[in-house]
Structure 1
Amino acid sequence: MDIYMQYTLVYPEESPVSTGTSWTLRQTGVFNRFVSSMRTQNQASIPIDQEGPSSTQPSNPNLLILLHPKQNSILQTRLTHSRSTNPFIQPFFTTHLLILSTYLPSWRFYISHLNTKLESIADIALTLQFTKPSHSTEAYTQLRALKHLEDQVLPLTARFQTTLATIRKLLDANDLFHSRQWSDTTTCQEIRDELQAHETYMNGHLITVTLLQKRVSEILNLLNIALSLKNQGTSVQINEHMLALTKDTVDDSASVRVVTIVTLIYLPASFVSSFLGMNLFDFNAEGGGFGMSSKFWVFFVMAIPLTMVTIGIWFYISQKKRNKIRAEEDGLFIGGR
Structure 2
Amino acid sequence: MSLNNCFVNQVVAPIELIEISPPNQSDEGRSSRRISTAQAIEDCLNHSNPSDYSHRHLSICQRTSWSSLQVTRELLELFVSKHGISDSFWDLPSCFYHRNDDVEINFGLPVTVNRTDSSIEIYYTIRYPELKPNGGNWAIRQSGLYYRFDSSTSQIISVLFSPTPNSAAHQKMEAFLLGLSSGSKSSPNPWRIHEILFTTYFPAWREYLAFLERKLLPETSTTFATFIDEPLRVGYDNLSSLASLDSKFLQVHTLMSHIEDVLKELSSLFAQEDLSIASGTINTLDNHRRRSVAHCRVANLLQQRAQTTAQLLANTLSFRDQMLAKQQNGNMLQLNKSAVFLTTLTLLYLPASFVATFFGMNFFDLDSNSKRIVGTPMVWIYIVCSILLTVVTFLAYYWVLHHDDVVVHRMSPKVNVGDWRALARRALTMKGFPTKVENISV
Q: TM range, normalised to the smaller chain? A: 0.7 to 0.9
**What residue is the counterpart of 2:172 in the other structure?**
78
Q: Deviations over 1:3-37 (max 9, x none)?
A: 332222110111354xx622111111223344x4x
Query: Hey, what does 1:4 align to over in structure 2?
Result: 121
- Whether the 8 Å CA contact 1:128–1:139 is kept in 2: the answer is no
Deviations 1:61-120 (A, max 9, x none): xxx222211101000000111011112886442111111111111101111122222223
Alignment coverage as a number of residue pairs:
286
**Residues 1-337 of structure 1: pairs in structure 2 closer than 5 A:** 1=116, 2-17=119-134, 21-34=136-149, 36=150, 38-40=151-153, 42-45=154-157, 64-87=158-181, 91-133=189-231, 136-177=232-273, 183=274, 185-260=275-350, 267=355, 278=365, 283=370, 299=377, 302-329=378-405
Q: Give the drift of 1:130.
A: 4.4
On the 8 A contact 1:9/1:27 being kept in 2, the answer is yes
Q: CA deviation at 1:43?
A: 3.6
Which range moved further: 116-125 or 227-236?
116-125
Of all paired residues, the percent bearing the same amino acid is 21
For the 8 Å contact 2:141–2:163, the answer to whether it is kept is yes
Query: C-alpha deviations, 1:194-227, integer Å up to 9, x for none?
Result: 2211111101111111111111111221222222
Higher RCO (Cα < 8 Å, 6 or more apart): 2
Q: 1:277 to 1:99 in 2, by over 3 A?
A: closer
Unaligned runs of 5+ in 2: 1-115, 409-442
CA distance in 2, matches of 1:323, 1:31: 78
Q: In structure 2, how many angstroms separate the alpha carbons of the residues matched to 1:157 and 1:117? A: 18
Q: Which amino acid aligns with 1:309?
A: C
Q: How much does 1:233 deviate?
A: 1.2
Residues 140-167 of structure 1: CA distance to partner in whole angstroms, max 9, x if unpaired?
4433332222222121111111111111
Shift of 1:229: 1.6
Cα distance between partner residues in 2 of 1:71 and 1:90: 27
Provide closer, same or farther for how the CA distance between residues 251 and 188 of structure 1 changes in structure 2, counting only shifts above 3 A.
Answer: same
Q: Which runs of 5+ in 1 are unaligned?
A: 46-63, 178-182, 285-289, 333-337
RMSD: 3.3
For residue 146 of structure 2, give the secondary structure of its aligned residue in structure 1: strand
Structure 1's 156 and 321: CA in aligned 2 closer, same or farther, altered over 3 A? same
In the superposition, the TM-score normalised over structure 2's length comes to 0.57
AA matched with 2:398: R
> Structure 1 residues 93 and 139, CA, compared in 2 at 3 Å: closer, same or farther?
same
Structure 2 distance, partners of 1:84, 1:275, is 118
Counterpart Cα distance in 2 of 1:165 and 1:69: 22
